[in-house]
Amino acid sequence: MEEVELKDNAFLISKTDKAGIVTYSNIPFQHATGYDEEEIIGKSYTFFLDKETPKALVRQLWDKVSSGKSWQGVVKVHGSSTKYFWVDSLISPSYMNDEMIGFLLIKRKASSKQIAEAQLLHKKLREEHGEG
């Protein structure tokens, strides 16, 4: 797999509905993943998570944001073909008229230290939950 080198100042932004289905993606997200907007819209946010992302981490993330709280963590994202990249991701609920309507996902390039820490955490979670 080929790692995509994200620009230090790039913000990869996407929005989802309450079910986690992507409704918007910005151009830097499209470039990083190698997908056109039409290919991104309508997919679950989990489609872009690397297959090795621990299911326990996804459950923790989803439980937190669906309860109205923000989640921040480092995840490996896969793009089209054989591309991937690590991001420091912030996921926050979006509201309109006091009703949660979806989620805003803001991602930035993760540092080498963040990636190393995330790899250890992901390995630990997979082992603890029998995921490999």
Angle at 109 between CA 130 and CA 60, to 5 degrees: 35
pTM higher than 0.85 for the full model?
yes
Mean pLDDT of 86-91: 98
The answer to whether 27 and 39 are in contact (CB under 8 A) is: no
Q: What token pair was written down for 32? A: 């990083």
- pLDDT value of position 82: 79
Average pLDDT, the chain: 95
Q: Which H or E run contains 89?
A: strand 83-96
The answer on pLDDT for 132 being more than 80 is no
For residue 131, what are the CA distances in angstroms to 24, 26, 61, 73, 92?
31, 33, 17, 19, 27
Instruction: Read off the pLDDT of residues 11-70 as tens digits, 9 standing for 90 and up.
Output: 999 999 999 999 999 999 999 999 999 999 999 999 999 999 999 999 999 999 999 999
The answer to whether 17 and 93 are in contact (CB under 8 A) is: no
The answer on pLDDT for 87 being more than 80 is yes
